[in-house]
A and B are shown apart, each in its own frame.
Chain A
Amino acid sequence: MRNIINNAYNTSNANGASTANNAHNGTTNSDFAVSVTGLTKAFGDVNVLQGVDFTITRGEIFALLGSNGAGKTTTINILSTLLKPDAGNVTVCGFDALLHAEKVRENISLTGQFAAVDTMLTGRENVVLIAKLRGIPKSSEVADKLLADFGLTDAANRLVSTYSGGMTRRLDIAMSLVGTPSVIFLDEPTTGLDPEARLEVWRMVKNLANTGTTILLTTQYLDEAEQLADRIAILHAGKIIANGTLQELKKLLPPAKREYIEKQPSLEDIFLAITHNTRSECDERDEQVKHSKEVA
């Protein structure tokens, strides 16, 4: 049964563009790429997660918001089988994260909070290594394509220790896409990036979602969740205190906070307007900036 579900899912993923279909397929367990119920986790005396429940529909972009220390990384680490929960049920692509950790690993990829790249290798060697470990036959072709997608072709044969923070993060995400995993965990993918690099990551996340990939991302930026997420959950004091679409959440937020959110993009616009001319990074980025100006 589980295998059938999984195969069906992989097929739809390979065909691409299944975002819309999945949401209306009924309500069996197979519709959920991720399902978490009653999840608890403590580190010594610190009860980080105290009964977390949420589900992520296939093909959805799901944002997990929370302040520092809320337990976002802990949740992601449990979902990606790096940590064992104290209690609760965690299912990814129909597989129990404890009982079938290996199956879960075959279906996911993790982009951790801090870029996990080998700085002693070139960008290309990093991607090829992941491809080999995932057992992908044409590892160097896959690597070339991904590096091109992320604007890293020119830097591909340079040691990663010479990369900028933005390039490192792009490589980090590129490595996570090797083998087209069906669920991707992005832990604060844009923290530490300049606004232009952020926009680029956003564009990439949207593209991924368009191919049917399920994405769970954590963030501390409300505008990021606003821009990207189909659904947003807020993790606070060990529990999910809110979960819904942006429209649903807006009804919950006090007006003062909304004002803050609306101010943020305008500062960003000013920043982008005065910095993008003096930049030498790739043209695509500039287009993105112009586009965002037009929207504003």
Chain B
Amino acid sequence: MKMLRDTYALFGRLLKHVLRSPDTIITVTIMPVAIMLLFVYVFGGAIETGADNYVNYMLPGILLMSIASGTAYTSVRLFSDREKGLFARFNSMPISRSSLLIAHVLVSIVSGLVTVFIITAIALIMGFRTNAGILQLLTALAVLTLFMFALTWLAVIAGLGAKSVDGASAFSYPLIFLPFISSAFVPTDTMPFAVRVFAEHQPVTSIVDAIRSLLCATPAYNAIWVSIAWCVAISVVGWLVGRRVR
């Protein structure tokens, strides 16, 4: 009860942060959209994916990219709360211990979902079409949310452990580029052996494959389970380490 009340109050506060600095949503959206435009209208003609609609093909990877760059802001928010002494203030008050972190995680997911909806809307304008049913769409959304949740825990580690704001957001850079070395933009079988082994065994490939299959209404259950396993594993490790950092 008290936990809900405290989480709600702290969630409202962080949501105001997001609403009052729309740049956090805009920057997170612009880069992946620019890449999407570039790939579709510049390189698209030269890329052979076997798919007849390249927007459909690359949308999952673009979404993962925007989620990764969005969690950098989660990390920065945590860092600044710690740096400004707000954690100390809240922790010296009789509030529920976990509410502070839960509020940060929730805001991270809410702003991630907003980004996902904006980018999907732009993709629709660019010709994205899906014949997925409502259940498949919801499953795709659930996998994306789980991915946000997993990366948010990495953001917690970075935000609480960093020595500077730049350090707090730097963790997301490799994550933003992970889609490039995956099945997100081109099929992995054209890649050199070493790159291909990496690409086929990193989480982004299975998550991209899972979402792509769901959007095509031909669910690849194997990829879906592997994605869920990756996200749960990352979350658990992030949570265990994050608790220590705190």
Contact = CB atoms under 8 A, between A and B. Distances in A.
Q: Is the interface of B mostly helix, strand, loop or mixed?
A: helix
Given A112-B85, A125-B16, A105 B93 contact: yes
A112 B91 CA distance: 12
B83 to A, nearest CB: 9
Contacts of A110: 88-89, 92
B92 A109 contact: yes
A1 interface: no
Interface in B43-78: none
A105 B94 contact: yes
A82 B85 contact: no
Contacts of B5: 132, 135
A247 to B, nearest CB: 33
A112 B16 CA distance: 24
A102 B97 CA distance: 10
Interface string A157-177: 001000000000000000100
Contacts of B10: 129, 133
Interface residues of B, number: 21
Nearest to A80: B92
Interface in A206-247: none
Interface of B: 2, 5-6, 9-10, 13, 16-17, 20-21, 84-86, 88-95
26 contacts: A77-B88, A82-B88, A82-B92, A105-B92, A105-B93, A109-B92, A110-B88, A110-B89, A110-B92, A114-B84, A114-B85, A115-B85, A116-B85, A116-B88, A117-B84, A118-B86, A119-B84, A120-B20, A120-B21, A121-B13, A121-B16, A125-B13, A129-B10, A129-B13, A135-B5, A159-B20
Given A116-B85, A129-B10, A132-B9, 5 more contacts: A82-B88, A118-B86, A121-B16, A129-B13, A135-B5
